[in-house]
Amino acid sequence: MRTVYSGELNVSYMQFYVDSRREFEEEPWDSRAGQRNGLCGAAVPGFLFCTTGLHTGPVGLTVEVHEEAPPVAEEWEEVVEVSFRPSSPRTSVVPWGDGELCAAELAETDHRVRYCARGMDIEPDAESAVLGGGPPVDHYLLQFWPAPPAPERIVRETSRKAAYWHGVARRLPPPPTAEELAEAARREREARERERAEARERAERRRWGGRIPSERVLAAGGNVTMLVRLDRDLIDVVDAAGPAAQRDLARWAARRALTAAGLDRVGWIAAGLDAVDRGEELPVPFDDMTRAFDRLFADPSVPQTLVDSTDGRHDNVLQQAMALPALFGAAEPNPLRAALDALSHAAVTWGTAYPDLFAEARARLAA
Whether residue 29 is predicted with pLDDT greater than 80 in this model: the reply is no
Under a CB-based contact definition with an 8 Å cutoff, are residues 169 and 36 in contact? yes
Q: Give me the half-sphere count of Cα atoms (radius 13 Å) on the Cβ side of residue 230.
A: 28
Question: 299: how many CB neighbours lie within 10 A of its CB?
Answer: 14
Give the strands of the sheet with 57-65, arranged side by side.
2-11, 57-65, 139-146, 111-118, 78-84, 153-156
Strand-pairing partners, residue 92, are: 19, 103
DSSP string, 290-333: HHHHHHHHH-TTS---EE--TTSS-S-EEHHHHHHHHHHHHT-S
Whether residue 25 is predicted with pLDDT greater than 80 in this model: the reply is no
In this predicted model, what pLDDT tens digit does every residue of 153-186 receive, in sequence order? 999 999 999 999 999 999 999 888 888 889 988 9
191 contact partners, CB below 8 Å, separation of at least 6: none
Closest by CA to 143, choosing from 217, 213, 68, is 68
Q: How far apart (Å, rounded) are the C-alpha atoms in residues 50 and 13? A: 11
Candidate CATH numbers 2.60.34.30, 1.10.3720.10, 3.40.1690.10, 1.20.140.10; the one for domain 2-175: 2.60.34.30
Under a CB-based contact definition with an 8 Å cutoff, are residues 41 and 49 in contact? yes
Whether this prediction's pTM lies above 0.75 is answered by no
- CA dihedral over 87, 90, 95, 100, signed as positive or negative: negative
In this predicted model, what pLDDT tens digit does every residue of 146-156 receive, in sequence order? 999 999 999 99
Low-confidence winner among 98-107, 172-181, 310-319 (lowest mean pLDDT): 172-181
Amino acid at the residue 145: W
Give the pLDDT band of residue 202 (cuts 50, 70, 90).
very high
Under a CB-based contact definition with an 8 Å cutoff, are residues 266 and 274 in contact? no
Q: How far apart (Å, rounded) are the C-alpha atoms in residues 204 and 216? A: 15
Closest by CA to 63, choosing from 175, 145, 122, 143, is 143
Give the pLDDT band of residue 124 (cuts 50, 70, 90).
confident
**3-state SS assignment for residue 220:** helix
Q: What is the mean pLDDT of the chain?
A: 94
